[in-house]
Structure 1
């Protein structure tokens, strides 16, 4: 899946492995609660944690085309997705505070660059090239066009949905599009990846609903035998 947003979170806690697992579920719940609304699709969320003080990377993945929704063109939609990622960062920080985490414990919350940022930089680079092309020496013109084409090819390789790739290509001049052979290889790899993903992955719960008993340290609300995470884990409510 395409990485729509990445939020880096650093909290001043030294926690046990069990605490980290609870916090992982809590952060996944925060991201799922908000992202499924603003990105208008079933999104994939992964939280990576590091030992010591809590360092978490909240990765939100899905279709760029679906996330754009009613934003208009692909290009303007990419800009809005980047703004949406900023709002995910703000929502994460606000929710931690609302749920009772001491502000002094929050060392850093920031948005990290991801695929939509790469696409926007590509578009801006093309704009600069087109504005300056008349004044460029021929050799510099060819070199810059080749560099742009390589950047476009790298981004194309990272796009996991055919509709996202089609939208990107529709915005590119033929000079910057990947070769037909590269696109055909990409298409075959995408089909294989989707088949492998479908065969390998089972979804035990949807969105922020856990199909298990609530983890110790969490307040929960039961709905039809499932549990929704309702507050910060007790491990994050400790004072200094």
Structure 2
């Protein structure tokens, strides 16, 4: 079987390749992700600990878990997961991100296996993981169902898959396209294509079609007064994250 890369959208890869050098600048083009990261990590860490019965008070609670960060970028999620003890593989189709991620991990004293490849390449090679992260990526792929199928294939039985994205509605257009790109200038204009945003029900359908069981979803809500993100059980109107388990 040949390596399949049909879910990659070259135009989307090129967008993030052009911004690769700014991954670790908290005031650069990835400022929104730096702001969102504590909220994302709170959700991921809590769900992983619950699924695998880990004590978060332990020095390295995720020891023995193998984790894949698809679309790892500069390693904003890969690094904290490695600090928690997980064996981390970071994969990105944008080759320019990998040297940035490797250098930062080295400077941070972390061992992370960063690879310039597609998720499909790992699946074809027979790689399997306890945890798969697909964060803020499904809205950038060419074939969402094909991508979700690959995520499911990469999971070991009982494994946990996370997928976060943006809802598709008028509010998300105003917040993500008008607000973040054109008013606040947090991201270059054209970073996101609103038509590729995925509603929570659509995402659950993709997850179930891939053979996974959705177990949780939460909104990630930005408060302009406190200038902070928080998790919400009810508000999935713009950013949200899901957790799913492989039977």
The structure with the largest helix share of the pair is: 1
Give the number of the structure with larger relative contact order, counting CA–CA contacts within 8 Å between residues 6 or more apart: 1
The structure with the largest strand share of the pair is: 2
